[in-house]
């Protein structure tokens, strides 16, 4: 029979898949002899079964859970539901990959009126007993019954006001008892039933709620962003409670063995006396820095520091731990590899190598490539920031610079951002429901909360700038305004925040590109040592090319030549070309474009210093170039010597019902071979010129024909290219070599890749179009319906961001195999947006591509992901 429940004493850290990260580490800490309140883990397989069985916990699993409660009772000497000696437990989620704050937790489970009365008397600490009970009712109602936190928070606020106090800890036992009764009444009014008194019923309700929380909207969004499959499920940890709210000799805290923002090797964390875990994370009270625990409880502090060292050495990585002190006794509730900023990740990895703890290969493997993105983002312009006067300062929770319009709700952040506004989300404090708004914002500013508050942790993970805990702000969320430094800010007002200093500024401060070096360079060098997949860039302009080269691009995998035509001085020539009636007229217009293209190509060759430069010939439907404004149409009519009506007729003639599948790509060159001829001349002449200047560079231009679906159309265009190129080379007395290849971006091209390879010397997978045409939906409009596909679990990811390995991937693989059959040394690359996505990079490595090509800022991500793919494959 399948085993679904494991005591902590039965597991170890290798059992993440079954026990989840938290469960596996609780088991590991138990076996290391650390003070862990004992308990058991209900496995991820039980979660999968819960869903398979129609969101039910089957009788056999329920039985197994209750048997494990009995085992717990033996270990702890307490009894579940007992009045005299009750066993109280926490119920927490714990997936394979950590998903901080995304799923649910219930504390103090096992309490009812009778138990709490006895506990209050026996412990001599009625305040604690009633505090536990009111917390339990509150959490259970919220998490299990989904009543909503706000009703309970309102009751607490009313009680504090009535008693004339500001802090929860100032409420007395009687106040808390009254609150518990009010909570139960609230529960009954919302649910219709009395609050459950049977601990078994409470436990099953809580476990179900944690399983259910695997599928809550914020967890689904988090998984999508972090490549965590839905099929994994979460485990549930049932653990004996350790009470941090027993009075002034108790407390709770969170700590990292190294600073998660900077990587500095120094214990970093916060604690709160007389509190339970959620108080620290929720940011309701402002916690004390961990160092101060040394003064408050020196022995406990020393013991904790020793455990930190032990855990870091054991896991060979920075640890993020939760602990509770119950009446001067320390308990460890969790350890995990800590989330960190990109800068901290690089520093920690390098330091661990220097400390002899890990190898450079392990350093490369431990960094999340997606994290690097935040390092590459803008910072404030140094001169401008020096002159600027901050209007407030709070915690520098997540680095980076952000400037934008103030919004007050996550929904507004999402909506404004979708309209193209840059926004700063300003909140009293954030909660997991805010995740989508946080993602849409440039930066996050909160009034409450410490460095380990929800806002801080989540923003750091996302690489979004965050300043937290600005208590100087006088907030009025309901009326969408706040006051700071004597000024009232309304929705839409612009502010700037600095996530590296915690400073807040009125108005916009200019930002500059990030500069990288030091540890970044070391990690990148190590990555380059291990990877075999090359990384090129998609660059259309000389500036893009230079930026990408500085970030390590080993060539250009895609230059979209049409992007060179959009500037105002060039668009006129291309419009002239489009409006031409004869080949001669068209050639005359093209002749104006030729030197411009040639100049840009020369700059691209220069930037790449002899590495491959792949020039893709004109691809978009021509209507993209024609004017829409009346005055531009009139201007064009004038330069073309035509009437406005004639120009309008030409524009109308370019209309297509489905332009993405219309007259574009190589079809343009089939209709107008003179376009391909002009582009060929520009490519070849540029290469010859730059080769003359740099005789040591071996420039071999790569000419790429887009949107091919039939070998004969490629052969047709190639003929023009070869004839033109050979004539140019001959005329220049050069011996330049060049290659002609194609994009594989139409399913038919993938299916007939053996034929296509007879003409194509290289393939580059255009996975944007290939995805569009394989799925049969538009790359520009899929956003309209993808959300309902996620909600209904039809897709887990955006297929335009992360390659669909099952379908599109099958075509890629097939095309690689067929292409190699015809031309064993064929060069294979990818240049769709997917080329910078780490999971796609791994796929590309595994199918044997020569290179990936991605936008300049993603080059380092791809370099690291390529190294990780190789290291993983070698394992
Ligand atoms: C592609 O289709 O993947 C591609 C790179 O070309 P474009 O995005 O320009 O259509
Ligand atoms: Mg394309």
Identify the active-site residue in 377, 454, 623, 834. 454
Does residue 515 carry a pLDDT above 70?
no
The pLDDT of residue 513:
66
The pLDDT of residue 283:
62
Ligand 1 atom closest to the CA of 832, numbered from 1: 3
What distance in Å separates the CA atoms of residue 801 and residue 782, rounded to the nearest whole number?
12
Residues 6+ apart with CB under 8 A from 315: 13, 335, 337
Calculate how far, in angstroms, residue 741's C-alpha sits from the geometric centre of ligand 1: 15
The pLDDT of residue 869:
98
Does residue 463 carry a pLDDT above 70?
no
Which two three-digit tokens encode residue 417? 């951002």
DSSP 199-244: HHHHHHHHHHHHHHHTTSHHHHHHHHHHT--GGG-EEEEEEE---S
pLDDT digits (tens, 9 = 90+) for 102-122: 778 899 999 999 999 999 998
> What beta strand segments (E) does 617-716 contain?
702-705
Does residue 450 carry a pLDDT above 80?
no
H/E run at residue 336: strand 329-337
Question: Which DSSP letter does residue 358 get?
Answer: S
Ligand 1 atom closest to the CA of 767, numbered from 1: 3
Asked if residues 13 and 28 have their Cβ atoms less than 8 Å apart, the reply is: yes
25 versus 563: the higher-pLDDT residue is 25
Mean pLDDT of 483-506: 94
pLDDT digits (tens, 9 = 90+) for 179-205: 999 999 999 999 999 999 999 999 999
The pLDDT of residue 451:
64
Does residue 281 carry a pLDDT above 80?
no
CA neighbours closer than 13 Å in the CB half-sphere of residue 772: 21
Work out the pLDDT band at 282, boundaries 50, 70, 90: low
pTM (predicted TM-score) = 0.84
Does residue 378 carry a pLDDT above 80?
no
The pLDDT of residue 568:
67
pLDDT digits (tens, 9 = 90+) for 401-422: 999 999 999 999 999 999 989 9
Q: Is 769 annotated as a binding residue?
A: yes
Which two three-digit tokens encode residue 243? 């009470």
Q: Which ligand is nearest to the CA of 780?
A: 1
pLDDT digits (tens, 9 = 90+) for 720-765: 999 999 999 999 999 999 999 999 999 999 999 999 999 999 999 9
The pocket around ligand 1, CB under 6 angstroms, is made up of 558, 560, 619, 745, 766-769, 831-832
Place of tokens 């220069």: 606
Residues 6+ apart with CB under 8 A from 121: none
Asked if residues 748 and 703 have their Cβ atoms less than 8 Å apart, the reply is: no
Domains of the chain: 243-359 (3.30.470.20), 375-512 (3.50.30.10), 533-563+593-618+661-874 (3.20.20.60)
Asked if residues 647 and 633 have their Cβ atoms less than 8 Å apart, the reply is: yes
Asked if residues 383 and 400 have their Cβ atoms less than 8 Å apart, the reply is: no
Mean pLDDT of 589-593: 94
**Torsion-angle region of residue 378: left (phi > 0), alpha (psi -120 to 50) or beta?**
beta
Calculate how far, in angstroms, residue 745's C-alpha sits from the geometric centre of ligand 1: 8
pLDDT digits (tens, 9 = 90+) for 755-810: 999 999 999 999 999 999 999 998 877 877 888 898 898 998 889 889 999 999 99
What distance in Å separates the CA atoms of residue 720 and residue 558, rounded to the nearest whole number?
21
At 48, phi and psi to the nearest 5? -60, -40
The yes-or-no answer on residue 403 being catalytic is: no
At 453, phi and psi to the nearest 5? -70, 165
Asked if residues 69 and 79 have their Cβ atoms less than 8 Å apart, the reply is: no
The pLDDT of residue 858:
87
pLDDT digits (tens, 9 = 90+) for 637-670: 998 899 999 999 999 999 999 988 999 999 999 9
- Picking from 443, 483, 445, the residue whose alpha carbon sits closest to that of residue 467 is 445
Asked if residues 535 and 851 have their Cβ atoms less than 8 Å apart, the reply is: yes
The pLDDT of residue 846:
98
SS3 25: helix
Distances from the Cα of 758 to the Cα of 25, 130, 665, 826, angstroms: 56, 80, 20, 10
- Burial of 572 from C-beta contacts in 10 A (0-12 / 13-18 / 19+): middle
What distance in Å separates the CA atoms of residue 232 and residue 730, rounded to the nearest whole number?
62
Asked if residues 391 and 407 have their Cβ atoms less than 8 Å apart, the reply is: no
The pLDDT of residue 728:
98
**Torsion-angle region of residue 77: left (phi > 0), alpha (psi -120 to 50) or beta?**
left
Q: Flag the least confident range among 140-149, 168-177, 180-189, 446-455.
A: 446-455
The pLDDT of residue 417:
94
The yes-or-no answer on residue 454 being catalytic is: yes
Ligand 1 pocket test target in 537, 540, 560, 708 with most atoms within 8 Å of CB = 560
Asked if residues 406 and 494 have their Cβ atoms less than 8 Å apart, the reply is: yes
Q: Following CA atoms 781, 787, 790, 791 in sequence, which dihedral angle do they give, to the nearest 10 degrees?
A: -150
HEC profile of 120-144: HHHHCCHHHHHHHHHHHHHHHHHHH
Mean pLDDT of 246-250: 92
Question: Which DSSP letter does residue 338 get?
Answer: P
Does residue 570 carry a pLDDT above 90?
no
Calculate how far, in angstroms, residue 626's C-alpha sits from the geometric centre of ligand 1: 21
Q: Which ligand is nearest to the CA of 538?
A: 1
The partner residues of 488 in beta bridges, in order of sequence, read: 483
Q: Is 745 annotated as a binding residue?
A: yes
If you count them, how many residues does the chain have? 875
Nearest CA to ligand 1 atom 10: 769
373 versus 329: the higher-pLDDT residue is 329
What rounded mean pLDDT belongs to the chain? 92
- Picking from 436, 427, 428, the residue whose alpha carbon sits closest to that of residue 458 is 436
The pLDDT of residue 396:
79
Give percent of the chain above pLDDT 90. Answer: 76
What distance in Å separates the CA atoms of residue 626 and residue 621, rounded to the nearest whole number?
10
Distances from the Cα of 138 to the Cα of 134, 171, 593, angstroms: 6, 16, 70
Mean pLDDT of 685-706: 98
The pLDDT of residue 398:
80
Identify the active-site residue in 132, 350, 831, 844. 831
Calculate how far, in angstroms, residue 577's C-alpha sits from the geometric centre of ligand 2: 22
- Picking from 830, 283, 857, the residue whose alpha carbon sits closest to that of residue 533 is 830
């Amino acid at each position: 029979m399948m085993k679904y429940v494991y005591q902590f004493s039965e597991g170890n850290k290798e059992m993440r898949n079954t026990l989840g990260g938290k469960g596996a580490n609780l088991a590991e800490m138990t076996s290391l002899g650390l003070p862990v309140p004992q308990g058991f883990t209900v496995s991820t397989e039980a979660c999968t079964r819960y869903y398979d069985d129609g969101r039910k916990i089957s009788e056999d699993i329920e039985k197994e859970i209750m048997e494990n409660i009995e085992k717990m009772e033996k270990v702890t000497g307490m009894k579940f539901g007992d009045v005299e000696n009750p066993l109280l437990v926490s119920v927490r989620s714990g997936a394979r990959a950590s998903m901080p704050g995304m799923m649910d937790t219930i504390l103090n489970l096992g309490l009812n009126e009778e138990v709490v009365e006895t506990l209050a008397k026996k412990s001599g600490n009625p305040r604690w007993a009633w505090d536990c009970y009111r917390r339990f009712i509150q959490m259970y109602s919220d998490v299990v019954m989904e009543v909503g936190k706000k009703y309970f928070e309102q009751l607490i606020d009313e009680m504090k006001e009535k008693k004339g106090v500001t802090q929860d800890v100032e409420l007395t036992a009687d106040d808390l008892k009254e609150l518990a009764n009010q909570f139960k009444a609230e529960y009954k009014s919302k649910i219709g039933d009395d609050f459950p008194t049977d601990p078994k019923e409470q436990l099953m309700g809580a476990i179900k709620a944690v399983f259910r929380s695997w599928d809550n909207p914020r967890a689904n969004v988090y998984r999508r962003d972090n490549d965590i499959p839905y099929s994994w499920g979460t485990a549930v940890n049932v653990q004996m409670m350790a009470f941090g709210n027993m009075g002034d000799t108790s407390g709770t805290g969170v700590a990292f063995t190294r600073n998660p923002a900077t990587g500095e090797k120094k214990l970093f964390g916060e604690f709160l006396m007389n509190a339970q875990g959620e108080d620290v994370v929720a940011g309701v009270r402002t916690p004390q820095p961990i160092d101060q625990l040394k003064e408050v409880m020196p022995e406990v502090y020393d013991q904790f520091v020793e455990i930190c060292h032990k855990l870091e050495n054991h896991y060979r990585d920075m640890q993020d731990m939760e602990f509770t002190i119950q009446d001067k006794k320390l308990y460890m509730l969790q350890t995990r590899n800590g989330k960190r900023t990109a800068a901290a990740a690089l520093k920690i990895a390098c330091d661990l190598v220097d400390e002899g703890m890990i190898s450079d290969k392990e350093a490369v493997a431990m960094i999340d490539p997606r994290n690097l993105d935040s390092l590459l983002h803008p910072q404030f312009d140094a001169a401008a920031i020096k002159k600027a006067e901050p209007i407030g300062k709070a915690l520098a929770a997540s680095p980076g610079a952000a400037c934008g319009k103030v919004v007050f709700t996550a929904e507004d952040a999402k909506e404004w951002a979708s309209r193209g506004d840059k926004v700063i989300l300003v909140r009293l404090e954030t909660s997991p429901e805010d995740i989508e708004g946080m993602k849409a914002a440039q930066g996050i500013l909160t009034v409450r909360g410490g460095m380990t508050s929800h806002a801080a942790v989540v923003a750091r993970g996302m690489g979004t700038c965050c300043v937290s805990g600005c208590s100087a702000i006088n907030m009025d969320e309901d009326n969408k305004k706040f006051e700071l430094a004597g000024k009232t800010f309304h929705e839409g007002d612009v502010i700037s925040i600095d996530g590296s200093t915690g400073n807040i500024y009125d108005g916009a401060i200019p930002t500059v590109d990030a500069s990288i070096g030091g540890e970044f360079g070391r990690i990148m060098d190590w990555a380059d040592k291990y990877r075999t997949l090359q990384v090129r860039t998609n660059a259309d302009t000389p500036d893009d090319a230079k930026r990408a080269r500085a970030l390590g691009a080993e060539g250009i995998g895609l230059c979209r030549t049409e992007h060179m035509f959009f500037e105002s001085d060039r668009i006129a020539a291309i419009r002239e070309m489009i409006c031409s009636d004869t080949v001669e007229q068209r050639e005359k217009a093209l002749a104006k474009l030729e030197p411009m293209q040639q100049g840009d190509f020369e700059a691209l060759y220069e930037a790449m210093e002899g590495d491959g430069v792949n020039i893709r010939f004109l691809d978009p439907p021509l209507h993209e170039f024609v004017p829409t404004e009346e005055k531009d149409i009139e201007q064009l009519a004038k330069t073309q010597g035509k009437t406005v009506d004639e120009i309008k007729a030409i524009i109308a003639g370019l209309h297509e019902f489905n332009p993405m599948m219309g007259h574009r790509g190589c079809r343009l060159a089939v209709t107008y071979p003179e376009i391909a001829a002009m582009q060929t001349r520009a490519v070849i002449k540029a290469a010859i010129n730059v080769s003359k200047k740099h005789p040591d560079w071996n420039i071999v231009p790569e000419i790429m024909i887009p949107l091919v679906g039939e070998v004969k159309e490629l052969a047709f265009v190639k003929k023009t290219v070869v004839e033109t190129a050979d004539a140019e080379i001959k005329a220049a007395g050069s011996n330049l070599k060049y290659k002609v290849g194609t994009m594989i971006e139409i399913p038919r091209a993938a299916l007939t890749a053996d034929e296509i390879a007879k003409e194509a010397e290289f393939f580059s997978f255009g996975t944007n179009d290939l995805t569009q045409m394989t799925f049969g939906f538009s790359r520009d409009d899929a956003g309209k319906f993808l959300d309902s596909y996620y909600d209904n679990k039809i897709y887990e990811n955006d297929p335009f961001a992360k390659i669909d390995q099952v379908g599109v991937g099958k075509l890629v693989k097939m095309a690689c195999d067929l292409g190699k059959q015809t031309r064993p040394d064929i060069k294979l690359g990818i240049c769709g947006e997917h080329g910078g996505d780490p999971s796609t990079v791994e796929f590309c490595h595994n199918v044997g591509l020569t290179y990936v090509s991605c936008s300049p800022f993603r080059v380092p991500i791809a370099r690291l992901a390529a190294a990780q793919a190789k290291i993983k494959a070698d394992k």
